[in-house]
Structure 1
């Protein structure tokens, strides 16, 4: 893989050319940033910026004012190659709080190992309604130790308004949800995004997460997408690397003051 070329394509398709992630959200562009404005329960934030040392501080202040005027908390999604090089420091100086760094990993679908089945005793079901969304949120809360309210609202909105481009799945051991994940397909781009993959602690290390990655990659391949991408945590990065994903850059969410 030509890392620099693929990263430039990702920036162009998925960041500068971002599409809203649900029917209740919109993308706004000005001279130097691309942002998503969603509902109070949706994702609000900056997905791309074109800044330098002379414009960064003013742009940060303007985005804070903009979202404050809407009554929204928001996230500045900072990538490791974004400019200026001290943008993270400037965000912290403006009162933003960084969350844990993740790694943007990308793979060409044709290079992935996709013949991965769930471990014995696990069945994978599609999520199509509110009951399924509740199962996904239950896994999310147990896997990450965070509240699943926003995820419930976001996934319900996506499945209601953009069902063809969002694929969510949950893995069950008997009737117990033990892992869940979703695939977001962005029409007109070459990238499919793997999001929200998590497994409850008692089922980690058994191949459940790996099987859900392969499941979603197979769906992306069947829809004609060339690349799959994921923001990987330290736990998932080794699994993804063994499947054929390669790291391109880092990404850090900075939460608004």
Structure 2
């Protein structure tokens, strides 16, 4: 290819990329440099710059999802070992009552002799603090009694409370909500409504039996019948849409 032809082709490619990525100033600068001084090699370097963040983000996202799934599997297995007579509904996707196309997902519904528990699992890393009244909590790295790299997160208790309200509208019951954190999370003093897994087991151990085996089977069947089944991609898309809309 002649130099002039290459320049024309590169120019057309730049215009195409500009139209599809308008507003990204650093990309415009790099593409201009590629045209003026780098030719094909410059464009190759630009492509590397463009692709690298997406690749890193994808890997990071996969790692977080893997850690979350591993924690979830650990909790489910431990619950089954702790009480073999109990039933668990994992990652149940439910359609909101009266809604056309809005859904909510519950990490685990535990149906046991102690009652029906709506469990939200969090595998966040860092020091966490919040109270029941706050809509946003704070998580960060605690070093020398100072909280560094702090950021706000939506209250997991309020998130789970919303799930319980939605579930009540579909199938009324006196549900008990609890948020379980992995050992990667350091829960601050005074943070109420959340615990690690051992803390949750200690809490339910002191409760009286309220359901017999027939009750457990009945409620499990009724709740399972409400779970929406579909392709995994549609499931994830619905959940992501509703997390943005409802905060979880």
TM > 0.5: no
TM-score normalised by structure 2 residue count: 0.24
Q: Larger Cα Rg: Structure 1 or Structure 2?
A: 2
Larger helix proportion of the pair: 2
TM-score normalised by structure 1 residue count: 0.24
Relative contact order: is structure 1 or structure 2 higher (C-alpha 8 Å, sep ≥ 6)? 1
